[in-house]
Amino acid sequence: MRARAVGVVGVGNMGLAMALRLLELGNEVRVRDVEPAREALAVGAGGHAAATPVELAVRCDAVIVAVVDAAQTEAVLFGSDGVAAAASGACLVLCPTIAPDSVASFTTRLDALGRDWIEAPMSGGPARARAGSMSLLVACRDDVFERHAALLAALADPVFRLGQRAGDGARAKLVNNLLAAINLAGAAEALALAERVGLDPARMLDVIERSSGQSWIGSDRMRRAVAGDLAPRAHTTLLAKDSALALAMAAGTGVVPQLGSVAAATFAAAIDAGHGADDDASLLAFLRDRFRSAG
């Protein structure tokens, strides 16, 4: 990829990982975050901080939006100092996991302003984002994809090209994350049961990982949980949000995913129990407590 000027608005776990990846590849990277400490991490690696999203956008030919939800995305795009107000033609790469209808609404407004956009929700976590090996679920016009294919390839492997319809990235991401929630809730419940019947959870996880119960998200999260490592890479609130969005998407088609509903309810209960700011591996601790309270 040729060196280019790229902005990243939202340098949380995923946004910072992408910024560091792009800096490592020799790009000029500008960042904006509401937390100065997050900006400082990127600046310390050679990035530049911007005072506002629009200030960032005028200096970049692509801007990655890596905030959490639809409200934050709207503020970054269309707020009083939002990137859509920039005179430059920076392509806007929309990475948050939000509802398909929200994506369609935002991209319709961007089209009216003559702004290029790429819908590109992410999957894989911060370590893979830092290595350029996460997944991107991409929807955009063909000509926009071709112009920015090198940037997408620098950020992710694989890049899944889903077509041109706005919202298809969100649809695919929500289906994936509903399954992730089901897998993680199932893995946490299984390990909590293993402990309840007197099995060593680490040894049981060895068995599961080489047997039919294995799942990537179960192994990744439960290894951390068994070690007592709940430092947040992905907060419990995120899969709670995503599973709720997936259920709302399903309801719009007249169906109620039964397993997804149980998983979403489990995440919501874990948040109510105080685990929202923990890594979502904390689901094991939550289910341990639930089993203990059962007597």
CATH number for the domain that contains residue 203: 1.10.1040.10
Q: Which residues contact 57 (CB under 8 A, 6 or more apart)?
A: 7, 63, 83, 86, 88, 90
Could you tell me if 98 and 71 are in contact, meaning their C-beta atoms sit under 8 angstroms apart?
A: no
**Alpha carbons 8 and 159: distance in angstroms, whole number:** 19
Same domain, 34 and 154: yes
DSSP-derived letter for residue 29 is: E
Same domain, 14 and 69: yes
Same domain, 141 and 187: no
Domain containing 95 — which CATH number? 3.40.50.720
Could you tell me if 236 and 270 are in contact, meaning their C-beta atoms sit under 8 angstroms apart?
A: yes
Distance between the two ends of the chain, CA-based, in angstroms? 59
Same domain, 119 and 210: no
Burial tier of 148 (Cβ tally within 10 Å: 0-12, 13-18, 19+): buried
DSSP strand E in 53-98: where? 62-65, 91-94
Residue with tokens 């399954």: 179
Could you tell me if 155 and 23 are in contact, meaning their C-beta atoms sit under 8 angstroms apart?
A: no
Residue 295 has pLDDT above 70, yes or no: no
Instruction: Determine how β-strand 134-138 pairs with β-strand 122-123.
Output: antiparallel
Same domain, 71 and 142: yes
Same domain, 65 and 193: no
Same domain, 120 and 187: no
- Own/partner pairs for 254-258, CB < 8 Å, 24+ apart? 257/178
**Alpha carbons 62 and 221: distance in angstroms, whole number:** 33
Distances in Å between the Cα of 33 and the Cα atoms of 8, 53, 112, 114, 158 are 9, 9, 27, 26, 27
Same domain, 77 and 182: no
Same domain, 132 and 211: no
Q: Which domain-ending residue is among 165, 188, 218?
A: 165
The band of 109, judged by pLDDT with boundaries at 50, 70 and 90, is very high
Q: Which domain-ending residue is among 134, 165, 196?
A: 165
Strand partners, 92: 63, 117
Tell me the mean pLDDT in the region 60-70.
96
Tell me the mean pLDDT in the region 133-157.
97
pLDDT at 261: 98
pLDDT at 293: 87
Same domain, 77 and 145: yes
Q: Which domain-ending residue is among 165, 197, 218?
A: 165
Residue with tokens 């509401």: 34
Angle at CA of residue 125, ends 231 and 94, nearest 5°: 125
Q: How many domains is the chain partitioned into structurally?
A: 2
Which residues are identified as catalytic?
Answer: 173
Return mean pLDDT, the chain: 95
Tell me the mean pLDDT in the region 3-29.
95
Quote the domain boundaries for residue 247. 170-293
pLDDT at 230: 86
pLDDT tens across 226-280, in order?
Answer: 999 988 888 999 999 999 999 999 999 999 999 999 999 999 999 999 999 999 9
Same domain, 119 and 228: no
**Alpha carbons 21 and 16: distance in angstroms, whole number:** 8
Distances in Å between the Cα of 126 and the Cα atoms of 7, 112, 122, 132, 189 are 18, 34, 10, 10, 25
Same domain, 111 and 205: no
**Residue 200 φ then ψ, to 5°:** -75, 125
